[in-house]
Amino acid sequence: MTGRVAITGGAGFLGTALARRLRSGGDEVCLLDLPDRLAAVADLLVGIETRPFAFPDITGIEQALAGATALVHMACTTTPASSMTDMARDAAQNIAPSVAIFQAAGHAGISRVIFASSGGTVYGDPKSLPVPENAAGGALSGYGVSKLAIENYLRLVAGKAGFTGISLRIGNPYGPFQLRGATVGVIANYLRHIHAGHAPEVWGDGSVVRDYIHIDDVTSAIRIALATPELSSGSYNIGSGVGHSINDIFAAIRRVTGTDLALRYKPARGFDVDAIVLDTTEFRRMTRWAPRVELETGIAELWNILQERKESE
């Protein structure tokens, strides 16, 4: 047990899964998010305290953090794509409010802050793979630049306030809750399209490589980061350590589903990194964590959920 954990932006796919995992492990959880997002996942959060929180407006953050021993900061208003339409807006809505939340955590006496950073964007196009933490820089989207800035501010605030500040650079997470209609998540979206009889689309030729990691492995890593006193402030990669192209992913989906649908290819976007695979050596060494869910096993889990949902309709 780690005590009372506050989660900002917690009504998303990752936050919901984390809150449920922490609660099942005996932790007290306070989940903060927009009222409409909280309402959308209310059935998944039975027994978990929720509070309205309109990030980037951080009104009420001091009261929400009162009594908490740890904070997991996941709130974000943009995606890599949307950040490129207005980079000034991305920076204003994500960097400054995050810094203010970290300062509020220090004032509240919180001992550990976890920031959900991005293993897929902070490295830009790395020179070699898998990429270690010290290779960060050269992000190709405003989203990635903002994540790096927030990481650096967390380091500064944590050092001044005396708490442990950990940034987890998470790869491409996927899992069951994305089937409820998440706007991001290639695997879940492709499966939903196939289930509906539609051919999925891909930007470019499908050769881009990402490090896909099951949500159970991500929440396990966050739980361990919260509960491991020896894990010091810093940035750590959280991924499977294995790269898969979009074409690889779709081939696995075809094996699992038996579909004869084909991908529809669209022109590539200029801000997509060609390939990213995360070196998780440091986090594994410090915590003995390791990912456990194989890619095709995770895909089959999601497909089975869709099939069971269809049978119950």
Give tens-digit pLDDT for 84-139: 999 999 999 999 999 999 999 999 999 999 999 999 999 999 999 999 999 999 99
- When the pLDDT of each residue in the chain is averaged and rounded to a whole number, the result is 95
DSSP label of 216 = H
Supply 226's token pair.
């919260």
The structure's pTM equals 0.96
In the chain, the domains with their CATH numbers are 4-173+211-238 (3.40.50.720), 177-210+242-312 (3.90.25.10)
Supply 214's token pair.
């099951």
Give tens-digit pLDDT for 215-247: 999 999 999 999 999 999 999 999 999 999 999
Model confidence at 1: pLDDT above 60:
no
The pLDDT assigned to 53 comes to: 97
Question: Mean pLDDT lowest for which of 22-31, 63-72, 301-310?
Answer: 301-310
Between 180 and 257, the higher pLDDT residue: 257
Residue that is written with structure tokens 């442990």 in the block: 164
pLDDT band at 180; cut points 50, 70, 90: confident
Model confidence at 311: pLDDT above 70:
no
The whole-angstrom separation of Cα 163 and Cα 148 is 19
pLDDT band at 313; cut points 50, 70, 90: low
The pLDDT assigned to 272 comes to: 84
Q: What is the mean pLDDT of residues 271-288?
A: 95
The pLDDT assigned to 270 comes to: 81
Longest dimension (CA), the chain: 57
Strands 49-52 and 70-73 turn out to be unpaired
Q: What is the DSSP string of 235-258?
A: EEEES-S--EEHHHHHHHHHHHH-
In sequence order, which ranges of the chain are alpha helices (DSSP H)? 13-24, 35-40, 61-65, 80-83, 87-107, 142-161, 186-195, 215-227, 246-257, 281-287, 295-312
Q: What is the mean pLDDT of residues 61-85?
A: 96
Give tens-digit pLDDT for 17-60: 999 999 999 999 999 999 999 999 999 999 999 999 999 999 99
Share of the chain above pLDDT 70, in %: 98
Model confidence at 75: pLDDT above 60:
yes
Which residues does residue 165 pair with via DSSP β-bridges, in sequence order?
113
The whole-angstrom separation of Cα 190 and Cα 195 is 9
